[in-house]
A and B are shown apart, each in its own frame.
Chain A
Amino acid sequence: MHEWALAEAVITAAQQIAEKEKLKEIKEATIKVGELQQIEQDILRFALSQLKPKSFKNVKFYITKAKTTLKCRACGNTWLFRKDKLDEAIAEAIHFVPEVAHAYIKCPKCGSPDFEISEGRGVWLENIKGVR
């Protein structure tokens, strides 16, 4: 249910953008979810629907999944994160704080834990559309 906290962040961020852009009603919000955080999309969608304010009543939430690309800072190797290769407890720890991936994942080529999460970390508000 940690998705609720992130859904609240998405709604608050969207409200702030709407205020800045002087939008009276929000019609669409696109949210990108990085695979690394393993967000349950159904829970996120439900939380968004429960938390949305009046100005969001006709909003459509588009949730897209982004693959996680990791890049080794030691050897330059690039690879994709795969949840199925992880122990369940480790996958859950990464779900809560994606950066703890550095404690459990190593570059498959050289074994270094010094890698960059190039893409697909967590929840990102891509854009919103609305009417003034």
Chain B
Amino acid sequence: MDPRTTVISERLSRIGRIIAVSSGKGGVGKSLLATTLALTLARRGFKVGLFDLDFTSPSTHLIMGVKNVQPKEDKGIVPPVIKGLSYMSLVYFSGDQVAPLRGEDVSNALIELLAVTQWGELDFLVIDMPPGISDAVLDLVRLVKNIEFLIVTTPSLLAFETVKKQVSLLQDLKIPIIGIVENMKMNKAKNIKQKTKKLGLKFLAEIPFDPKVEEAIGDEKKLFDTALANKIKEIATDNAI
């Protein structure tokens, strides 16, 4: 028997809410949104963790500007606190190397980190998910009992079509969905908002495309001066989350 799954609920037992920031498609801004949401909640005075689950293409460490930091060992792995966030990522262990993981490896690495990471007491744990609805999503909903999803799309119908599939899966599995964020919006069309409502979900925000976001990578101060951060602040202070 694999003993690791038996301690996961204990490891997460002192976390108020666990929010997976997810999308059916890649490139929609999940990592930026997850990082900014976590930083915003921390700025509001909450104890927040950020967990990068995009093992094969992690990027939250770049957004945060994390360098030369390692977790501590104390009856497990204790995530270092970076910019006010308890931060965990596979990059502590894989460095700059490419980590070509198949589904089974992703599941094993996920279970390992959930079993040994000592998060302690948190109000929120924000998880940056890999794109799609493969192993990481299925494992998380199986192993993390109180998980909620925040779904990100772009105005593209291609992105929204995959989001619809993800929503359908989560609804079948009876997993709570906080709502949908439309990111990188370049016009005033309301079709994503209407389609979200048709799915019976809350439309959380439309975030305009802001070229300043790219320049803000690795710089928290600049990040908080973007339209993205302003909208996330609204979500995080609006009791929407």
Contact = CB atoms under 8 A, between A and B. Distances in A.
A13 B106 CA distance: 22
B75 A13 contact: no
B108 interface: yes
Contacts of A16: 6
Interface string A32-48: 00000000000000000
Nearest to B96: A103
A62 interface: no
A104 B101 CA distance: 12
Nearest to A17: B1
A26 B224 CA distance: 56
A114 B99 CA distance: 10
Contacts of A13: 1-3, 6
A103 B106 CA distance: 13
B116 interface: yes
A93 interface: yes
A10 interface: yes
Interface string B100-121: 1110011011001101101000
Given A1-B73, A99-B109, A124 B3 contact: yes
B2 A124 contact: yes
A99 B108 contact: yes
B99 A122 contact: no
A42 B16 CA distance: 36
Nearest to B97: A103
B141 interface: no
Interface residues of B, number: 33
A5 B90 CA distance: 18
Given A1-B73, A124-B3, A103 B95 contact: yes
B6 A5 contact: no
A5 B76 contact: yes
Given A1-B74, A5-B118, A97-B112, A102 B3 contact: no
Contacts of B1: 13, 17, 124-125
B93 A8 contact: no
Nearest to B72: A1
Q: Is the interface of A mostly helix, strand, loop or mixed?
A: helix
Interface string A90-132: 0001101111101110000000011001000111110000000
Contacts of B109: 97, 99-100
A99 B3 contact: no
Given A1-B74, A5-B118, A12-B10, A123 B3 contact: yes
A113 B75 contact: no
A9 B6 contact: yes
A97 B115 contact: no
A50 to B, nearest CB: 10
Residue among A94, A96, A114 with max Cβ neighbours from chain B (10 Å): A96
Interface of B: 1-4, 6-7, 10, 55, 73-77, 90, 92-95, 97-102, 105-106, 108-109, 112-113, 115-116, 118
30 contacts: A1-B74, A2-B116, A4-B75, A4-B76, A5-B7, A5-B116, A8-B75, A9-B3, A9-B4, A12-B3, A13-B1, A13-B6, A93-B94, A96-B116, A97-B93, A99-B55, A99-B99, A99-B106, A99-B108, A100-B109, A102-B101, A103-B95, A104-B97, A114-B102, A117-B105, A122-B112, A123-B3, A124-B1, A125-B2, A125-B3
